[in-house]
Amino acid sequence: MNVLILCTGNSCRSILGEATFNHLAPEGWHAVSAGSKPAGYVHPRSLALLQRQGISTEGYHSKSWDKLPVTPDIVITVCGSAAGEECPAYLGPVMRAHWGVEDPAYATGTDEEIDAAFMHAYRTLRARIEAFFALPLEALKKDPVQMKTELDRIGTLQA
């Protein structure tokens, strides 16, 4: 099963989600991330945070949803609302869920406050990904209505 984690810029949240998902994924599950308007770079604080968490950052880069290496089975949008951004709407016959997370790239304040915003985004995404992998995934693959219900429920979980 391929999961697309989608946001606008593909520099922070979706990269954090992709790397964390792949780090925790059981066999047969894989995530890619992309943006509708990719920034063209991965935010250095995202990479530093992943490295501190012991998650590989090799190969992760900002990319467009126009050039996906796989066709997704599930699309999870992670855009928030603090910056007035709109969630990109993936146009394809896939299951969709929204796991909104505020974009830490817009955080202001001291270095500690900005790092805390990145950590909050990471912890929220990780909690949701862990909740997803705790589900009976093999059974849910055969029950798309229940899978969608669970994905939507997980999108409300906080770190």
- Quick check: is 7 catalytic? yes
State the Cα torsion 29-36-156-113 to the nearest 10°.
Answer: 110
d(CA 118, CA 126): 12
Out of 3, 4, 5, 7, the active site residue is 7
Return all residues near 45 (Cβ < 8 A) that are at least 6 apart.
12, 104, 114, 115, 118
Beta carbons within 8 Å of 122's beta carbon, 6+ residues apart: 16, 20, 49, 50, 53
Distance CA 3, CA 30 (A): 6
Gap between the Cα atoms of 50 and 20, Å rounded: 8
Please tell me which residue in 24, 39, 68, 87 is annotated as part of the active site. 87
Q: How many residues does the chain have?
A: 159
Question: Among 4, 78, 79, 97, which one carries the catalytic annotation?
Answer: 79
- Residue 79 designated active-site: yes
Catalytic (active site) residue 12: no
The sign one gets for the Cα dihedral 117, 59, 41, 132 is: negative
The residues carrying an active-site annotation are: 7, 79, 87
